[in-house]
């Protein structure tokens, strides 16, 4: 979290610094430097305060904690808004590149820019807190004494093969969004007002300004990357659809049409790994069951997290501080509601690192904890940067770091850490690659369309009366999925996805899906690996770790193109690494799909 609060005295002092008297001379670069130093110091202090309040709110969801978090967020948002306003004084002068970058990042640090009017700012903060709380408390009650939270919902949608039960659970969870609809529309209005006051056309334009290129260039870059990977996605979609048609019948899964969203293994159809058993390969075709291997070890949640930490230690990173293990939340409490969505926290921008995750002993969570550990180690590597450079090179980098490590969860890695006794034969590559494609390739269009929807909402192209229709139009266009039951504008299905009510930008996850394979290919090469890309692990490679660490320590101090080049030698994001990784699977899918119609 990056935000701030200014006391009345501090605010008065900042005004004196930032607003010259009538007789004062024009502002200088030295004054801009001093203004920025004072502002960064204050922002750091207030970020810590806000982080602590939000940590408590998400771990103890009550009306009181929501109010406390809203107060802290309102105070820091107010200060951030004022600092951005004061910084306009220096817009006309030429600044050193590093300082100019800080002034830009100051404007971009808040994904929900607030209006200057205190009443409107307070209204926006309260809406944001209430939306986050609604999601965290969300449940579907099948019967008065049978209420399911999102963890239970995910479990049923993962395991059940009864299409009617899946439809009921899917529709039940999506009811969580409907009460958010009007508040979300108001939130968009207020956020756009804040963005315009900062000099941006709307909040979506502000979000896209953080990628060291114009919004138009960024839009074109996204479409270029999607064009690279779309043929692989179509091959996967065609294969999965054919197998689901065999399982459920053509009356439920049209042989040449889109796939109903409730049949793909999770509440959002964003990844499809849970339906692997339905796809015609032997359940143990990979030669092992990672969930079973983990459960055979009688692991608890802490044991799962320690595997993640040990991977980074093997690359030369220092262990996590003891406070990580004391303060993280790794198991869902039995006595209260929490926001179970897994995330990593940098509480004090130094060493108070934490993970909040309701860990289950299963393969999916083993991968996720490696991912979340990536955030914590990235936080610590750039902790000595100035405050506004304490972030990823772009937000896709932050998500890609842990996912790069997760790609190294290969049979060779599992054998090295003692989970697997014997490596599977070469013919096991296809089941392993298919499982991974169901996670990585299936996710790509979902990761792309979330913010395409939001950017159109922020711009006004999608109006409140068309929120839901536009959501499903984009899901059909990019994913080839449809809702299992009729939807209307009385619904607000975007609200059933955590990142919408929490106002978390989502394009980072699409970019991360691209970047992680690019990082992975480079680090495998650095480690000296020579074989097929999909079999590589760089576990225990100090050479790969040193190269990676150099990039992580740069934080957001340089354009992402510079930092990408430091690891990969390339200055452009490149999806060919995904195609290289999945090349054996692409060939196999094309053989399986002969005679099938691709697309929908």
Catalytic residues, by residue number, are 341-342, 371-372, 375, 399, 499, 509
Closest CA to 455 of 281, 195, 280, 261: 195
* Nearest CA among 110, 4, 64 for reference residue 56: 64
- Indicate the DSSP class of residue 557: S
Residue 104: exposed, middle, or buried by beta-carbon count in 10 A (0-12, 13-18, 19+)? Answer: middle
Go through 531-564 and write b for each residue having 16 or more CB atoms within 10 A of its CB, e for each that does not: eebbbbbbbebeebbebbbebbbbbbbbbbbebb
- The dihedral of CA 299, 302, 308, 310: what is its sign? negative
Strand bridging mode 353-356 / 343-346? antiparallel
User: Contact, 373 vs 311, CB < 8 A?
Assistant: yes
Say how far apart CA 462 and CA 458 lie, in whole Å. Answer: 8
Token pair for 377: 């180690």
Question: What span, in angstroms and rounded, lies between the C-alpha atoms of 363 and 567?
Answer: 29
CA distance 594 to 584: 16
Q: How far apart are CA 283 and CA 77, in angstroms?
A: 51
Q: Backbone phi, then psi, for 265, in 5-degree steps?
A: 100, -5
**Neighbouring C-beta atoms of residue 409, cutoff 10 Å:** 21
Q: Which one-letter DSSP state was computed for residue 499?
A: T
Burial annotation 222-258 (CB, 10 A radius, 16+ → b, else e): beebbebbbebbbbbbbbbbbbbbebbeeebbeeebb
DSSP 278-293: GSSS-TTTTS--HHHH
Q: How far is Cα 440 from Cα 513, in angstroms, rounded to an integer?
A: 7
The beta-carbon contacts of 525-528 under 8 Å, at least 24 apart in sequence, are none
In this structure, what token pair is assigned to residue 210? 């953080």
Query: Which element (helix H / strand E) includes 170?
Result: helix 163-174
Give the residue from 232, 587, 255 showing the smallest Cα distance to 441.
232
* Cα(308)–Cα(409) distance, integer angstroms: 10
Residue tagged 């409490």 (tokens): 333
Q: How far is CA 209 from the centre of its chain?
A: 18
- Other CB atoms within a 10 A radius of the CB of residue 425 amount to 8
Start-to-end C-alpha separation, the chain: 41
CA distance 348 to 51: 8
> What residues pair up with 345 in beta bridges, in sequence order?
354
What whole-number distance in Å separates Cα of residue 44 and Cα of residue 315? 30
Task: Evaluate whether 151 touches 136 at the Cβ level (below 8 Å).
Answer: no
Q: What tokens appear for 176 in the block?
A: 């969580």
Which tokens is 468 given? 């839901």
């Amino acid at each position: 979290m990056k935000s701030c609060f200014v006391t009345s005295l501090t605010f008065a002092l900042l005004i004196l610094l930032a607003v010259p008297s009538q007789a004062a001379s024009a502002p200088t670069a030295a004054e801009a430097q001093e203004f920025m130093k004072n502002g960064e110091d204050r922002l750091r202090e207030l970020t810590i305060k806000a982080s602590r309040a939000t940590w408590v709110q998400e771990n103890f969801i009550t009306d009181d904690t929501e109010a406390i978090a809203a107060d802290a967020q309102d105070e820091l948002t107010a200060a951030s808004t004022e600092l951005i306003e004061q910084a306009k004084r220096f817009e006309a002068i030429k600044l050193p590149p590093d300082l100019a970058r800080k002034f830009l990042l100051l404007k971009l640090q808040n994904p929900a820019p607030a209006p200057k009017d205190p009443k409107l700012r307070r209204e926006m903060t309260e809406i944001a807190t209430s939306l986050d709380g609604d999601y965290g408390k969300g449940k579907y009650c099948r019967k008065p004494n049978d209420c399911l939270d999102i963890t239970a919902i995910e479990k049923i949608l993962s395991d059940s093969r009864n299409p009617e039960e899946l439809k009921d659970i899917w529709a039940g969870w999506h009811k969580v969004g409907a009460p958010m609809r009007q508040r979300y529309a108001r939130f968009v209005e207020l956020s756009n007002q804040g963005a315009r006051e900062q000099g941006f056309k709307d909040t979506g334009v502000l979000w896209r300004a953080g990628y060291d290129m114009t919004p138009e260039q960024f839009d074109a870059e996204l479409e270029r990357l999607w064009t690279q990977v779309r043929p692989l996605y179509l091959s996967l979609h065609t294969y999965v659809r054919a197998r689901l048609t065999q399982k459920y019948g053509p009356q439920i899964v049209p042989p040449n049409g889109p796939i109903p969203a409730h049949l793909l293994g999770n509440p959002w159809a964003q990844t499809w790994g849970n339906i692997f058993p339905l796809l015609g390969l032997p359940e143990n075709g990979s030669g092992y069951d990672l969930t079973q291997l983990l459960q055979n070890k009688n692991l608890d949640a802490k044991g799962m997290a320690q595997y993640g930490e040990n991977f980074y230690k093997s690359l030369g990173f220092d262990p996590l501080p003891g406070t990580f293990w004391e303060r993280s939340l790794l198991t869902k409490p039995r006595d209260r509601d929490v926001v179970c969505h897994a995330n990593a926290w940098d509480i004090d921008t130094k060493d108070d690192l934490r993970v909040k995750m309701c860990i289950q002993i299963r393969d999916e969570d083993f991968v996720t904890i490696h991912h979340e550990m990536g955030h914590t180690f990235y936080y610590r590597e750039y902790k000595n940067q100035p405050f506004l450079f304490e972030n990823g090179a772009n937000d896709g980098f932050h998500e890609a770091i842990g996912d790069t490590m997760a790609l190294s969860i290969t049979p060779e890695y599992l054998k090295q850490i003692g989970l697997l006794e014997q490596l599977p034969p070469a013919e096991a590559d296809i089941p392993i690659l298919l499982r991974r494609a169901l996670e990585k390739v299936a996710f790509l269009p979902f990761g792309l369309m979330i913010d395409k929807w939001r950017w159109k909402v922020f711009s006004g192209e999608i109006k409140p009366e068309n929120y839901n229709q536009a959501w499903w139009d984009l899901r059909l266009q990019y994913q080839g999925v449809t809702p299992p039951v009729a939807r209307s504008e009385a619904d607000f299905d975007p609200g059933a996805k955590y990142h919408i009510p929490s106002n978390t930008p989502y394009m980072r996850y699409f970019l991360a899906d691209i970047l992680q394979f690019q990082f992975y290919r480079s680090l495998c090469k650095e480690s000296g690996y020579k074989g097929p890309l999909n079999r590589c692990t760089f576990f225990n490679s100090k050479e790969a770790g040193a190269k990676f660490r150099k990039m992580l320590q740069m934080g957001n101090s340089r354009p992402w193109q510079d930092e990408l080049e430091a690891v990969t030698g390339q200055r452009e994001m490149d999806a060919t690494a995904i195609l290289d990784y999945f090349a054996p699977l692409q060939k196999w899918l094309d053989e399986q799909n002969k005679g099938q119609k691709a697309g929908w």
